[in-house]
Amino acid sequence: MSQLAFLVIDIFAVTLLVFGLYFPRHRRRDLVVAYLGVNVGVLAVASSLSTSSIGAGLGLGLFGVLSIIRLRSTELDQHEVAYYFCALALGILGALSSASVWSTAGLMALILVVMFIGDHPRLFNSYRRQIMVIDAVITDHLTLVAHLEQLLDARVHAANVQRIDLVNDTTIVEVRYSCPRRVKSPAHLGAGVPAPPRVDATTNSGVGFGVNSAATRLGAYR
């Protein structure tokens, strides 16, 4: 009966992890199958090995090797690796029938809470990371940071040059930056706020005329 309870708790936890946290936030279908398969596979094999003479250590070691091969097959982001190991941990906890049901459920809940907070969209949502290819060779770090801040319109926290191509005049750089908070326009702040005055294109010297002013001039020539 206790083994069945562990199985039910693990299935509920991995379902909440995959369909409640990961997929609504990241929308990658192929990893949904991977997370579910890894969790159920680890749970099944670890449960069978825990009652056999082979030992659970050998089985978990084999699954560790398989997980390394799986992670090397395709490129995964760091948050996807975190979900991957959480699915592994849930499966291992579900196979430990020697522990109490409440302690296992508490540890699984702790994993879910940590992933809910750590991968929350509002946590450090203004911070970004990009690999950019600049159509220029910039060797000075301060000049590179100033150029990146002008391009991104953001504050650059780190800029690591990965490659400088002197033949094609390009610089490949990894950028970590934070976007500034945009101030909402008066239309979004509520009704009753007067709109800013409209500036006609003809009043801007040196800028050029708009479409309506150009049509007016064309009619005058006629």
Specify the pLDDT at position 155. Answer: 92
Residue 18: burial class (beta carbons within 10 Å; 0-12, 13-18, 19+): buried
Sequence-separated (6 or more) residues with CB below 8 Å from residue 194: 186
Q: What is the pLDDT of residue 58?
A: 57
Contacts of residue 212, Cβ cutoff 8 Å, sequence gap at least 6: none
pLDDT in tens, 28-84: 998 999 899 989 988 888 787 766 555 556 556 666 666 665 555 567 788 898 998
Q: Which of 47, 164, 138, 141 is nearest to 97 (CA)?
A: 47
Of 163, 131, 165, the C-alpha closest to 148 is 131
| Distance (Å, whole) CA 197 – CA 217 | 24
Per-residue model confidence as pLDDT tens digits over 90-133: 988 888 766 788 888 999 999 999 999 999 988 888 888 889 99
Q: Are 64 and 77 in contact (CB under 8 A)?
A: no
Query: Does the structure show a pLDDT above 90 at 86?
Result: yes
Question: How high is the pLDDT of residue 213?
Answer: 42
Segment 158-199, tens digit of pLDDT: 999 999 999 888 999 999 999 886 655 555 444 444 454 444
